[in-house]
Structure 1
Amino acid sequence: MALLTPIRTRPRMDRRSTVWHVDWILVFGVVALSFIGALLIWSATHNRTSLTEGKPDAFLLRHALNFAIGLVLAVGAAITDHRRVRILAPLLYAASIVGLILVLVPGVGSTINGSRSWIQLPFMSIQPSEFAKLAVIVGMALLIAEKSETDRHEDARTIDVAQAVGVAAIPVILVMLQPDLGTVMVLGSIVFGIIAVSGVPKRWMLGLLTAGVLVAAIAIKLQVLKEYQIARFTAFMHPSSDPQGIGYNVNQARIAIGNGGVFGQGLFHGGQTQNAFVPEQHTDFVFTVAGEELGLIGAGAIIVLFAIILFRGLRIAVNARDAFGRLVATGIVCWFAFQAFENIGMTLGIMPVTGLPLPFVSYGGSSMFACLLAIGLLQNIHLRSHRH
């Protein structure tokens, strides 16, 4: 009789854990953000023939296609057995390192907006640094979790965390060489968040902050950063110093958001947006479209949706059944939180311009694929926490 019980109950439990236990609130937040992003991208690009080549719906359709492909990747990540996720983690890390190296090879990598971050393929372009964010998360989480579980330590030891930081240092250095300061800042927030919940002494936090300041100072001293990147920080500190030059983007972005008022000027009716006063409005500055055309209500809705996603991510981290799941979920939350804050903040003038996209909202295949893969991993951790 004992042999009959698993045969009868196991299929039912598998179906319930896969369907009923999905975090549908998290799914709603992601789908809603992507839908809003599609509308904003459509509005920002439909009348710009230099971008669309006479096809007003071109970027809308591409954004929808990117979301569809990313959704397939998310489902795959969600239903993959957690043991296979651990096995695939080193492969993801190695692949991201190879990609980051390839973009630095002359003739392979392409420079866009001053950063050599892209690999051009016949049918699309890939930005390996977007996937490096996820690779750093799973790489650090795997190393810390494996060490703590093998040695039966509830908290990570100093040597374990030092090795994990070394794992993160390789992609950080490669991204700095592009140079892509925005992604380096995101990677820094990921490292800080994972270390914070790993259980090491608090002096590690102070050490990481000090190291970050030193690295920034050395990068400036050795002229690793380009002149335009340093100028962006100068414009952030002194917004009125060059309003028609390096400060143009931010000034136009603030004008666009200010024009929106409470209810906005209406989709496809924003003066700054429809007259193309704000550069890169379908990618880095997509939030300005929401501010101008959807107003405080629409822009606020985007922030609320991000808050929902972050809250569900933190909830998944707290309820994770193992250290690996807890660390991965924490890293993803830190990634989304910092990147959303930086992107929205730079349009408001409270953060420097770094060229980071707004997750799920900005146009871009690499960003969408990486972000939805991260959501799939969150669902994977969530589903496992409900299995008995």
Structure 2
Amino acid sequence: MLGKIKNIDWTIVVILLMLAGICIPVIHSAVSSGSNAKMAGSETLMAVYYVLGFVALFIITFVDYRLLVKYALYLYIFGIGVLMLVWSPLSSEGINGANGWIRVLGVSVQPAELFKLILIIGIGAFLARKQTAKLGFWRDVLPIVLVAVVPFMIVIAQNDLGNALCYAIILAALLWIGNIKYTHVLIFGVLAGSVLYGGITAYRSFRTEIEEFMKIHMPSQKHYLVRLDPILMPDAAGDSYHAERALESIASGGMLGKGYMAGDLSSKVPYTYADSIITVIGEEFGFVGMAFLLLLYFILIHRMIVIALECRDRSGPFIIVGIVAMFLYQIFENIGMNIGIMPITGITLPFISYGGTSLLINMASMGIVMSIHVHNQEAIKMEDRLQTDHLDELGKEAEYKSRGFKWPSLGLGRARASREKSK
């Protein structure tokens, strides 16, 4: 146990503590006034979640991550079952058009957040068995895609576009690092580009017809139009209040910001304590504050990549790459949607936005990264010890020879010579 504690990457722990130090005061500022005042006290609850998150991180650190890889199939089946609970009596009230919450012991839990980590472990376990061979399409790529498509469709049915897209990003990152053939990448790229271009063109050409169809046949999904309009049809966007207020709030912060709790525009942005929390940071701490936050993310991701590169086990790097892809997508999408370069989706800013399930899953993810690092360091020390022991034996043999002694052969040399003579 003491050896494992020494192997903990304390840089990651410090970064997480600094992110907690940003999260809690910023949430307090976000809920102190405006339409979010009804969420007063969220900063205290988030502090409790952070304490639980650090407890989970250290517990998972000392658990061998290879156990998760070993039982990846059972975890996947369990995760699909939990996703389906959204349509069970445990279902909780939807939020902003999404219906992806269940209520357990009086606490709302979002299964889609949990499944991101399960998907990473599942695909990572599959790829770890492939050694260095290129992925075959029918034998490897198609089964992996199906593993991701099933939860993707379930989460889309729950109107949670943000987490569904996160599954697609995780899939793409792991297929790339898993040694997919370039021809398959080209085919997927052409197909994806064609679908994206065709979809955007059709949306712009038949926007009115699409809206009428969704009002009649898909009323629960019509909020997607409000989120897509500011990006795909900025000139004709009818309801772009969220996007405009978010961009205005961030821009008003300038270089150094207006000061802590001195912002007034961000209070007009919906969900500043959650999905739009970057608007509070941008207005109160300016470009410098946002750049500092991005620097912390950079250091955190850099440390994760270094751990992946040093890992001796094949499954470890795959899991870390999946977690890195998950964080990068969430950071880019969350900040991008608030500065007008990405469509607005329900996605949290890792370690900063309010959300108990999201934070606990992120901390558990870092616990798995730490477990990979700790157990990998033990493997490296064992290798070094074996090499040192081998060198010590060679040194002893050389010393005996220099003194005129022969290293005992136990008769193995004579047996080898007799076999060669008989041949």
Coarse TM-score class (shorter-chain normalised):
0.7 to 0.9
Kindly state the Cα deviation for residue 20 of structure 1 after the two structures are TM-superposed: 2.5
TM-score by length of 2: 0.79
CA distance in 1, matches of 2:332, 2:370: 23
Kindly state the Cα deviation for residue 313 of structure 1 after the two structures are TM-superposed: 1.6
CA distance in 2, matches of 1:50, 1:255: 18
Asked whether the equivalents of residues 90 and 103 of structure 2 are also in contact (C-alpha less than 8 Å), the reply is no
Q: Does residue 296 of structure 1 match 2:282?
A: no
Kindly state the Cα deviation for residue 373 of structure 1 after the two structures are TM-superposed: 0.8
Kindly state the Cα deviation for residue 105 of structure 1 after the two structures are TM-superposed: 4.0
CA distance in 1, matches of 2:20, 2:317: 26
Asked whether the equivalents of residues 192 and 205 of structure 1 are also in contact (C-alpha less than 8 Å), the reply is no
Aligned length: 363
Change (3 A) 1:114 1:123: same
Q: Which amino acid letter does the alignment assign opposite residue 96 of structure 2?
A: N
Give the alignment of 1:245-264 within 5 angstroms. Answer: 246-264=239-257
Identical-pair percentage: 29
Aligned to 1:23: 9
Aligned to 2:85: 102
Q: Which amino acid letter does the alignment assign opposite residue 160 of structure 1?
A: D
Kindly state the Cα deviation for residue 33 of structure 1 after the two structures are TM-superposed: 1.6
CA distance in 2, matches of 1:185, 1:261: 32
Q: Does residue 121 of structure 1 match 2:104?
A: yes
Change (3 A) 1:69 1:209: farther
Aligned to 2:356: 365
Q: Which amino acid letter does the alignment assign opposite residue 269 of structure 1?
A: A
Map Cα deviations across residues 68-117 of structure 1 (whole Å, 9 max, x no partner): 11222222221112332223433432232112111134772532111111
Give the alignment of 1:69-148 within 5 angstroms. Answer: 69-105=52-88, 108-146=91-129, 148=130
Of the three residues 145, 157, 170, the one matched with 1:165 is: 145
CA distance in 2, matches of 1:35, 1:143: 38
Alignment partner of 2:278: what SS? Answer: helix
Q: Does residue 66 of structure 1 match 2:53?
A: no
Change (3 A) 1:346 1:62: same
CA distance in 2, matches of 1:237, 1:80: 46
Aligned to 1:34: 20
Asked whether the equivalents of residues 52 and 59 of structure 1 are also in contact (C-alpha less than 8 Å), the reply is no
CA distance in 1, matches of 2:366, 2:195: 31
Aligned to 1:272: 265
Aligned to 2:231: 236
Aligned to 1:4: none
Alignment partner of 2:87: what SS? Answer: coil
Aligned to 2:182: 202
Alignment partner of 1:125: what SS? Answer: strand
Kindly state the Cα deviation for residue 348 of structure 1 after the two structures are TM-superposed: 0.6
Which moved further from structure 2: 325-334 or 224-233?
224-233
RMSD value over aligned CA atoms? 2.5
Alignment partner of 1:179: what SS? Answer: coil
Kindly state the Cα deviation for residue 292 of structure 1 after the two structures are TM-superposed: 0.2
| Higher gyration radius (CA) | 2
Alignment partner of 1:264: what SS? Answer: coil
Q: Does residue 180 of structure 1 match 2:180?
A: no
Aligned to 2:419: none
Q: Which amino acid letter does the alignment assign opposite residue 203 of structure 1?
A: T
Give the alignment of 1:303-342 within 5 angstroms. Answer: 303-342=294-333
Alignment partner of 2:99: what SS? Answer: strand
Of the three residues 370, 375, 388, the one matched with 2:366 is: 375
Change (3 A) 1:77 1:155: farther
Alignment partner of 2:268: what SS? Answer: coil
Q: Unaligned stretches of 5+ in structure 2?
A: 204-209, 383-423
CA distance in 2, matches of 1:69, 1:203: 46
Which moved further from structure 2: 223-232 or 355-364?
223-232
